[in-house]
Amino acid sequence: MSRNSPYDVAIVGGGLAGISAALELLDHGLKVVIIDRDSEQNFGGLANESLGGMTLINTPVQRLNRIQDSPGRALRDWHSFAQFSEHDEWPKKWAELYVNRSVDDIYNWLKPKGINFFPIPHWVERGEFGEGNSIPRYHIIWGTGLHLMRTLIDELRNHPKAINLTCLFDHRVESLILQNRAIAGIQGSHEKTSQAFEIEAPIVLVASGGINGDINRVKQEWDKSWSDAPQHILNGAHRYADGAVHDAVREIDGNVTNLHQMWK
Ligand SMILES: Cc1cc2nc3c(=O)[nH]c(=O)nc-3n(C[C@H](O)[C@H](O)[C@H](O)COP(=O)(O)OP(=O)(O)OC[C@H]3O[C@@H](n4cnc5c(N)ncnc54)[C@H](O)[C@@H]3O)c2cc1C
């Protein structure tokens, strides 16, 4: 087994979430390793196939179209259809953070990188009975998710601190290492050779996508209030986003919740 260090942060998954996090961490001078089960040519994950639309609140594009939005209004709309339970402390905090920071952390973060937005926001997820977005907030980028990912990957490769970045492809993460009850790294095996590997890092960021790459898992987690899971389901998720890393997090008593919240 090969031992590798010294990274400040190990990121499991090189999709949009993992790559965005890596860019931020490099900006802060940290040493980062991205570990992905997929091959290098698929770097960027599912977003390479995506449309590139995102919910943003109180943007210049909305103002151009005389749509008045605010974090307060967006949060009310979010709560109207999120079906939060009293136990959903973190999801509620996430909603609040998102509505307050979507312009700074997404719109203003992407624009200088050369990502432009279609000048009309669209109105999706209005809800069948009025719950949902009460105004248009769905901002679509020019060039689809493929352009977004090519831009972010270029940014990563040409980052002034790119020397602090290591990318390992064809590496499947199987478990998280605990030492003295603290995270100490990850373990796994090479996708093609099955050779075991271990990476030490004091922080592990899990960005391995959802669970929907495994249709049996989708059926297992199916929300019973939607009726029974259909026998045949078309898989539009990343093939490796199968919930295995969620299980690894659970194995070390990590808090994994709301797997039944799938977008159908
Ligand atoms: C056709 C289509 C259109 C879409 N349109 C939109 C849209 O307009 N707006 C929107 O917001 N979303 C859209 N989506 C959804 C969006 O693309 C995804 O939600 C998003 O890309 C997920 O990014 P992620 O980084 O979380 O995960 P992923 O892109 O799934 O990346 C996960 C990565 O983790 C790796 N991985 C998984 N398990 C392991 C393991 N055990 N070890 C190592 N690596 C592992 C995978 O190889 C993968 O590279 C669309 C999706 C599709 C298919």
What confidence tens digit (pLDDT) does each residue in 205-257 have?
999 999 999 999 999 999 888 889 999 999 889 999 999 999 999 999 999 98
Q: Report pTM.
A: 0.95
Distance (Å, rounded) from C-alpha 175 to C-alpha 187? 5
Helix axes 144-157, 16-27, angle to 10 degrees: 30
Distance (Å, rounded) from C-alpha 187 to C-alpha 200? 9
pLDDT band at 1 (very low <50, low <70, confident <90, very high): very low
Distance (Å, rounded) from C-alpha 17 to C-alpha 239? 16
Best mutation site among 11, 19, 46 for ligand 1 pocket (most ligand atoms within 8 Å of CB): 46
Q: Taking a C-beta distance cutoff of 8 angstroms, is the pair 218, 210 a contact?
A: no
State the distance from the centre of ligand 1 to the C-alpha of 205, rounded, in angstroms.
Answer: 15
Q: What is the pLDDT of residue 261?
A: 86
- pLDDT per position as a tens digit, 21-53: 999 999 999 999 999 999 999 999 999 999 999
State the distance from the centre of ligand 1 to the C-alpha of 180, rounded, in angstroms.
Answer: 33
Number of separate helices (H) and strands (E) present in the chain: 8, 10
Q: What is the pLDDT of residue 2?
A: 41
In percent, how much of the chain has pLDDT > 90? 86
pLDDT, mean over the chain: 94
- Establish whether residue 22 lines the binding site of ligand 1, counting it when its CB lies within 6 angstroms of any ligand atom: no
Own/partner pairs, 252-257, CB within 8 angstroms, 24+ separation: 252/176, 252/178, 252/183, 254/176, 255/90, 257/87, 257/88, 257/90, 257/91
